[in-house]
Structure 1
Amino acid sequence: MKIISTIALALLSSTIYLPEIAQAGPKPSIQVAQLRVFAPEIDSFTLYPVQRLDPGTELFFVLRGTPYARATLTIPNAVQNLPMREVRPGVYEASYIIRDWDRISENTAVRATLQRGDRISSTRLQQPLVAGYSDRRFQSLYINRFTAQPVQQLNPGTTLNFTLIGTPNATATFSIEGVAYNIPMREVSNGVYRGGYTIRRQDYFPRSAGTVTASLQSGNQVIRSRLDRDLFAGYDDGFNTAELPLEIITPQENARVSGRVEVQGRSAPNATVNVNVQATSSLAGLFGFQRNILERTIRSDEQGNFSFAFNPAISIPGTRYEVNLSATRGDQTSEQTLVLFQN
């Protein structure tokens, strides 16, 4: 009996103290690594102003910012969260045809949003919808294009040349992250600014490549734009073989055209340039057409210049022309797209 009582007491003791032993033991520590997602950046939000806001008029918007995100725009009393298509990295486009029941005025505050993950950035259109409309709430600043003439190698003494096309009579600068900041650009013609930077021996271009940005300022208003491609791709022991250059000089993006359209550009000397022009139009939003109006191959001259022209097949006001260029030389390729509208 004594043995049985001793065993029972031991079991009872275990029953009492085991939970306390479990609670006293250290709890496992689990650390979860969290990926930090930054809010997307919006560089600019623009449109080509129209002559009037009648039903059937097409509004065309361009948003530039962080690539590979989700972009939408909202026009109060008309449409909400209209998707914008990413036509090339960081460039989003959308068009909207005004309907009979829409209530859109010259000072309607159009907004765009750019979302990546759960982070959202938003901006308001800082220009009027109607050409020539004046309102102090809008700023007239815009940047149509910020480009660079690529070089073959980044050696000390090499000059990097940049071109900005935007609002005339403003102050333009550019910055190369980690290298130089706020370098002035000179307005060489109406709305065309150019500037250069000569590489110094002490400059260091990291493998990840710095971001090149341009700023345009008028009064207390400032807008910015980034180069549409990595200027410093292919870094190798202090030398850099740049991408094949391809630049559209005229006409400007989103320009209104009529009659014969002439396009001038620049690439590497003796490069092959493939040209494709697509026309898209609609009437009052009811029906439309899409037509391939030009497809040809040309070659740049000894200075890298090239030009071509096309005639609109059907001259319908508001017709959208998408000019797609692809340059090749050896195993290098480069692409550019230009959007124009029929007057």
Structure 2
Amino acid sequence: MNLQSKIVAGLLALAVFLPLTFASAPTQAQQPAAAVAAPRIDGFDVEPVAQPIAGNELAFTLYGSPGGTASVRVGGATGSLVLDEVEAGVYEGTYTIGRRDRITADSTATANLRLGNRVASSILDESLVAGAAARWPGGSASASAVPRIDRFEVEPPARLMPGEELLFMLSGSPGGSASVRIDGVRGKLALEEVAAGVYEGAYTVRKRDKIAVNTIVTGNLRLGKQERSTVLGQALVETSRSRSRTSARRVAAPAPVCANCGAVEAINAIEHKGDGSYLGMIAGGVAGALLGNQVGDGSGRRIATVVGSAGGAFAGNEIEKRMKTTRHYEVVVRLDNGGSQMVSYPTEPALKVGIRVRVENGTLVPI
């Protein structure tokens, strides 16, 4: 056997030898992630462009849980957009349309907000092009169903200043998509259907908002391709009339429906290759040098030792990476309100695509 063949044989033997080197080291157990509250998206909006041509900019705004990572994916775009958290719970970003992009008036825009290993998603229900028909990402309402708005109110604060909350309530046709636009505020606030036909949402006043007591506020309710709007008939600060009206609403409010129920849409296995460390390189280098030192004599032995050490270090690093590879499972749930929720599991969950579940304390409970 010549020198080159002996070196190759030695390195192949190294691949068998190295796992024994790491076997005596204690296995590092995967630590469970700290419990993180499920993120929420309160609003997702865009300033549309006149034409989706190269150079024009799409400005996105997202309201939701603070301290997260927000991103937007636009259908037909070659890249995605990461939004900056400009204020607590306010994320903004601008996507410049490129020459390779194929964005049209029918393109969708999906926002994702991640907190820890949990993700909330929202699909923009408006067109990216000004003047184009609005989009409806879900729902089964017929094109002829015209929504009705029975009531649109606000539970205002005593003073209109940063940090105060405006709690909006809209009642009307059930199963729709409701939102609020406030003049002087960028973006819109999505309302959640807390009971059949009852939609609620809270907006926190921010320093940059240009709103006053008599600012115009518009409530919108969409069913399928039909939309109806109404203007708020109240002041944005508390009065004796608003106190009596909201108190009556609290007493008469119907029981809430399940806002965290839906169906399993996908179960994805995610594999993370581990990182190699100096320990693997050292162990591999030592083992490679020992094997190389058994080859030939004189200068040939020295060359074999150097080559064996270098090859062993590389092989040891790769083997350590494989030994540290971990896998977890991400379950995507399509919620009944049209949104989605992702829940992560360290092992394969006993769930199947299509079954009904409820998101509860970071886990999925079949219903």
Tell me which interval the TM-score lies in, with the shorter structure as reference length.
0.3 to 0.5
Higher relative contact order (CA 8 A, sep 6+): 2
Higher share in helix:
2
Higher share in strand:
1
